[in-house]
Structure 1
């Protein structure tokens, strides 16, 4: 299907991204997966090449470029080299943490943090989920109380992407138990603050190189200068940034769908059984036809969502529709493509086998499929 989403400048940028990935990521990714750790130096080089952080204003070292199509190009190219652990960290920086720092910071905070992000020297994380509170953010028990001009933070977070590597962690905490939804605030906790401890690096079934951690806060003294946004509006700040996060999940999902499908299509016309390529059997052709159709149709929705985001018109409901449907499609596409590979699909040397594990989380993080349907359903109910 022809797409008219991109201009020449995006295709020129694509070549820059490809060259960066071939030089800095492809030769190292297998080692990162084995070591369960991505070299920090790659983010310095990525930032230098404009692979992420393009939206940062020029005065802080960025390009002040807000066209989300560049972000989509990056997602597509990383998918093609099957570096999904790296893809998640880039998405975490570009689609989550950075936008909290761009949208909610004071001028003084921007001066402190944005130059480091623009240089790839500061890595961020977002800490919402707790052992007893996942999708139900109002159930969080992490708290912060005033002590003079500072805040004293106590609590625990879990499943925090880049929790070990992060230099800055945006932490959601309850600041007024009596204020309902207006009783939550966001704080930036920095590496080295007394009382801030990182727990074990969690052992996941997929995305091994992307570190995920438990975080502990015991009487962490957070200066008032590290309050992010408006006191008491933490939940609202979180909600307002979810469409960007969910669009990020959608673009990664559709990019991976197409990559795995194209590899499987080629495999089906190279692999022979009963004297002919397996793709010459009607049952296999029909299955490929169904997958190709679904991917093209969903691609159109994601492309439209990117255009809407650029125009400031992507709603939370439309982002939720894309997030659940594209991530569920990804799960189905990868599973069917693995089946078409037969026994080879179960071998970890094949990208489809690794994708089977790496993509399973897509229907969970950023809001589960059930939560996305609840958001859409509430909107339909008025």
Structure 2
């Protein structure tokens, strides 16, 4: 057996000991608590999210890049490597960590009051509480500037009305970070999900990300005190900065799905014989494997560069930088998954192998937190200085 794809360039030499430790920890969690059962969760469309959250919390994987409140304060690269290992098990599990840590916890950590931080961050970090992030709406996905959810003042309180959709964790969440338009711009709120007027309904019959819980949120006259508002969030830039943070996890995570597909295809090709010898010895198969290994390594180097840059400047990356990473790595990860399926023939669609599950999951990852087209326009605007988005 030859070397594994990410060993071709000795890429581990670029990582610190702490970063390798974070990767090993996440891999153990995935091996112990996800891989043995995930195929069944995917087929049934149900996963024990609360039990998984507790295990992920014990390992310190929620909000591990944040500081204070007993959080680890790990590097962005450590978080990325952890996400790569989790998504190598399943995209839905990595999505759980990204939403909890890089959307919900980050929003509270960066824009919340001290009271909100001290109340929610320890519970979310431990997995005792589950959070969701309500930005996307039925008619406003790629264009959050048009959001219809409204927040109006009523005496000392706020009243929220609207609908949010395709919200990961919504059906099981204890708290929701909700974004709404107010008289003076976009504002955010920390909303306990047991408050009157808040309802979440599961979106069923998904063909992708089936080992996760996704839903639609309705807000019908939800009354909140001023203390529920995120005081540091004063415009649409606040939720967009949270998305920038979470997209780093995606840029890393999809490499795990791609690597798992490629490892599976390599092992399969070495043992599958046709015409009297392993198909791994055929030129066309080796050409496929070489091209996929090349793209996987390029994606890793891109993710590592963005992670190092984020750690060096200690602030969110520019939108076009994130767009380069998400556009390239998700697009190439899907290509790798599909190509691995061709190597495995009909067996590539069986649930005993992860390839088809990864390929299906990556179709969702391609779309959420910015479609490929949106990221292309973000890059195009930076290159030309011209805004091609619809007005």
- TM-score grouping bracket, smaller chain normalisation: over 0.9
Q: Secondary structure at the match of 1:40?
A: helix
Question: Any conservation in 2 of the 1:249–1:366 contact (CA below 8 Å)?
Answer: no
Query: In the alignment, which residue of structure 2 is the partner of 1:45?
Result: 55
Determine which of 101, 109, 118 is the counterpart of 1:111. Answer: 118
Query: In the alignment, which residue of structure 1 is the partner of 2:204?
Result: 202
The 5 Å alignment of 1:200-279 reads 200-230=202-232, 233-279=234-280
Q: 1:13: how far off? A: 3.5
Q: Does residue 157 of structure 2 align to residue 150 of structure 1?
A: yes
Query: In the alignment, which residue of structure 1 is the partner of 2:101?
Result: 94
Q: 1:203: how far off? A: 2.6
The 5 Å alignment of 1:117-128 reads 117-128=124-135
Q: Which moved more, 1:6-15 or 1:184-193?
A: 6-15
In structure 2, runs of 5+ residues without a counterpart are 1-8, 386-391
TM-score normalised by L of structure 1: 0.92
Q: Does residue 28 of structure 2 align to residue 19 of structure 1?
A: yes
Question: Any conservation in 2 of the 1:202–1:214 contact (CA below 8 Å)?
Answer: no
Q: Which moved more, 1:126-135 or 1:276-285?
A: 276-285
Q: Secondary structure at the match of 1:221?
A: strand
Number of equivalenced pairs: 373
Question: Any conservation in 1 of the 2:130–2:172 contact (CA below 8 Å)?
Answer: yes
Q: 1:31: how far off? A: 4.5
Q: Which moved more, 1:45-54 or 1:202-211?
A: 45-54
- C-alpha separation between the residues in 2 aligned to 1:310 and 1:57? 13
> 1:264-320: CA deviations, max 9, x gaps?
122112111111111222111112111111221222111111111111263221111
Q: Secondary structure at the match of 1:133?
A: coil
Query: In the alignment, which residue of structure 2 is the partner of 1:191?
Result: 193
Q: Does residue 341 of structure 2 align to residue 331 of structure 1?
A: no
Q: Does residue 87 of structure 2 align to residue 79 of structure 1?
A: yes
Q: 1:145: how far off? A: 0.5
Q: 1:21: how far off? A: 2.9
Query: In the alignment, which residue of structure 2 is the partner of 1:316?
Result: 319
- C-alpha separation between the residues in 2 aligned to 1:153 and 1:145? 7
Question: Any conservation in 2 of the 1:37–1:210 contact (CA below 8 Å)?
Answer: yes
- C-alpha separation between the residues in 2 aligned to 1:125 and 1:110? 16
TM-score normalised by L of structure 2: 0.90
Question: Any conservation in 2 of the 1:66–1:310 contact (CA below 8 Å)?
Answer: no
> 1:229-287: CA deviations, max 9, x gaps?
346x2301022233222211111112221221122122112111111111222111112
- C-alpha separation between the residues in 2 aligned to 1:55 and 1:375? 26
Q: Secondary structure at the match of 1:53?
A: coil
Question: Any conservation in 1 of the 2:85–2:253 contact (CA below 8 Å)?
Answer: no
- C-alpha separation between the residues in 2 aligned to 1:240 and 1:54? 18
- C-alpha separation between the residues in 1 aligned to 2:15 and 2:67? 23
> 1:191-228: CA deviations, max 9, x gaps?
21000011233331111121110110000001111111
Q: Secondary structure at the match of 2:164?
A: strand
Q: 1:35: how far off? A: 5.2
Structure having greater relative contact order (Cα 8 Å, sep ≥ 6): 2
Q: 1:56: how far off? A: 4.6
Question: Any conservation in 2 of the 1:124–1:169 contact (CA below 8 Å)?
Answer: yes
Q: Secondary structure at the match of 1:130?
A: coil
The 5 Å alignment of 1:287-298 reads 287-298=288-299
In structure 1, runs of 5+ residues without a counterpart are none
Q: Does residue 172 of structure 2 align to residue 169 of structure 1?
A: no
Alignment RMSD (CA, Å): 1.8
Alpha-carbon spacing, 1:217–1:148, altered in 2? closer, same or farther (3 Å): same
Q: Which moved more, 1:155-164 or 1:12-21?
A: 12-21
Q: 1:39: how far off? A: 3.7
Q: Which moved more, 1:6-15 or 1:115-124?
A: 6-15
Determine which of 330, 350, 353 is the counterpart of 1:350. Answer: 353
Q: 1:116: how far off? A: 0.9
Determine which of 364, 367, 381 is the counterpart of 1:364. Answer: 367
Q: Secondary structure at the match of 1:164?
A: helix
